[in-house]
Amino acid sequence: MGERKEPGVSGLVLLGKQPGLTSFQALNQVKKIFSTGKVGHTGTLDKFASGLLLVLVGRAVKLSPWFSSCDKYYSARIRFGFETATLDPEGETVAEAPLPGREALEEALLKFRGDILQAPPAYSAIHVNGVRSYELARSGVRVEPEKRPVTIYSLDLDSWDPPFAQIRVRCSKGAYIRSLARDIALEAGSRAHLANLERTGISLFKLEDAVTPENLDEDALKPISPAVFRALKLPALEADGKTAASLAQGRAIEPLAGGLRFSGGAELPAQGITESAAGVFDGDGNFIAVITRENGRWAYGYVYARG
């Protein structure tokens, strides 16, 4: 156990959620350990699912938009033969169909790689006419959420042991693996639901580096560091002393650009950073701010140093 953190503690926890807990319930131990209600995860996992939650604590909660937009990695077990209302093991059966052959399954997978349109599950937290979709579905209302664009960067079949298929997925924000299982089955002439789902990674953060709620202690809190931004696949910049002080006060960024370098010392390219956001740190690695780039100009995303 490390030394006790001071009130106002802030940072990132890599938490491994177990099946049977909602994502909200999984945060209870984080709140207890750090004596704060200012805690938030950056992407929900269904109750039946397990895997990595990125949990932001204290001032770091306001960094959620840059964490939530990351690509995600999953290992999923699909059970073919029948579809459930919730598209998971907890729902009642709503449709049945014969099992697909392996060839039909592999051909179906081809249709879901790349940019696709996907309808979220009826039992999901998206809003339909201002109401959560799952609330409508539970009340007996027939819900058909509109399709929306998502990207499936990779989709691989690890095993086919009828009626189960084990798949690995890397996908964009907003993609539902329950919907993916449903749609793969329909394309293969069958029906299916998810029997098991594990989130194995978010951007470059990995489940193997996470702690479970039972093993959580104060040492699990990671500071917002240049390494965290690199794991988000965003630039980490270092500001000299004068520039760091000015940025912490929220002064105009453009005149201060000459005082910024890539973390590690490399100079910025003459045309500037083209990414939409970057983290800025002082020479000691203390996090100052997120700055964003739009239409060729810098703006503040969040001044962390001012909290």
Q: CATH code at 301? A: 2.30.130.10
On the question of pLDDT at 275 being above 80, the answer is no
Output the CA angle 40-41-43, nearest 5 degrees. 145
DSSP 303: E
Residue 142 has a pLDDT of 77
The answer to whether 185 and 100 are in contact (CB under 8 A) is: yes
Q: Are residues 38 and 52 in the same domain?
A: yes
The answer to whether 152 and 114 are in contact (CB under 8 A) is: yes
Give the mean pLDDT of the chain.
90
Distance CA 143, CA 129 (A): 11
Per-residue pLDDT averaged across 251-271, rounded? 80
Reading the block at residue 53, the tokens are 């939650």
On the question of pLDDT at 80 being above 50, the answer is yes
Least confident window among 61-75, 128-142, 275-289:
128-142
Per-residue pLDDT averaged across 229-252, rounded? 93
Q: How confident is the model at residue 128 (pLDDT cuts 50, 70, 90)?
A: confident
- Full residue range of the structural domain in which residue 90 is found: 72-202
Q: Are residues 269 and 291 in the same domain?
A: yes
- Kindly state whether residue 286 falls inside one of the protein's structural domains: yes
The answer to whether 115 and 155 are in contact (CB under 8 A) is: no
Residue 262 has a pLDDT of 87
Place of tokens 């909290």: 307
The proportion of the chain whose per-residue pLDDT surpasses 70, expressed as a percent, equals 92
Q: Are residues 172 and 208 in the same domain?
A: no
Per-residue pLDDT averaged across 225-230, rounded? 95
Residue 305 has a pLDDT of 81
DSSP 281: E
Per-residue pLDDT averaged across 44-59, rounded? 95
On the question of pLDDT at 45 being above 60, the answer is yes
**What are 42's strand-pairing partners?**
none
Residue 296 has a pLDDT of 77
On the question of pLDDT at 1 being above 50, the answer is no
Q: Are residues 170 and 209 in the same domain?
A: no
- Kindly state whether residue 81 falls inside one of the protein's structural domains: yes
- Kindly state whether residue 211 falls inside one of the protein's structural domains: yes
Per-residue pLDDT tens digits for 100-115 = 999 999 999 999 999 9
CB atoms within 10 A of CB 68: 16
Of the candidates 250, 236, 249, the residue with the CA atom closest to the CA atom of residue 286: 236
CB atoms within 10 A of CB 228: 23
Of the candidates 8, 6, 5, 15, the residue with the CA atom closest to the CA atom of residue 55: 15
Q: Are residues 239 and 195 in the same domain?
A: no
Helices (H), the chain: 23-26, 28-34, 64-68, 102-110, 133-138, 177-187, 226-231, 241-248
Per-residue pLDDT averaged across 20-38, rounded? 91
Residue 274 has a pLDDT of 63
User: How many independent structural domains does the chain possess?
Assistant: 3
- Kindly state whether residue 282 falls inside one of the protein's structural domains: yes
The CATH number assigned to the domain holding 102 equals 3.30.2350.10
Per-residue pLDDT averaged across 264-291, rounded? 82
- Kindly state whether residue 2 falls inside one of the protein's structural domains: no
Residue 269 has a pLDDT of 67
- Kindly state whether residue 4 falls inside one of the protein's structural domains: no
CB atoms within 10 A of CB 296: 8
Residue 265 has a pLDDT of 72
Reading the block at residue 61, the tokens are 């909660």
Residue 5 has a pLDDT of 38
**What's phi and psi for 39, nearest 5 deg?**
-140, 140
On the question of pLDDT at 137 being above 70, the answer is no
Per-residue pLDDT tens digits for 139-181 = 667 777 889 999 999 999 999 999 999 999 999 999 999 999 9
Q: Are residues 102 and 184 in the same domain?
A: yes
Residue 144 has a pLDDT of 77
Q: Are residues 90 and 174 in the same domain?
A: yes
Q: Are residues 49 and 77 in the same domain?
A: no
Residue 297 has a pLDDT of 82
Q: Which of 220, 253, 276 is the last residue of a domain?
A: 220
Q: Are residues 141 and 289 in the same domain?
A: no
The answer to whether 253 and 277 are in contact (CB under 8 A) is: no
Residue 43 has a pLDDT of 86
Q: Are residues 162 and 284 in the same domain?
A: no
- Kindly state whether residue 3 falls inside one of the protein's structural domains: no
On the question of pLDDT at 7 being above 80, the answer is no
Catalytic residues: 46
- Kindly state whether residue 289 falls inside one of the protein's structural domains: yes
pTM: 0.91
Q: Are residues 255 and 278 in the same domain?
A: yes
Q: Are residues 151 and 83 in the same domain?
A: yes
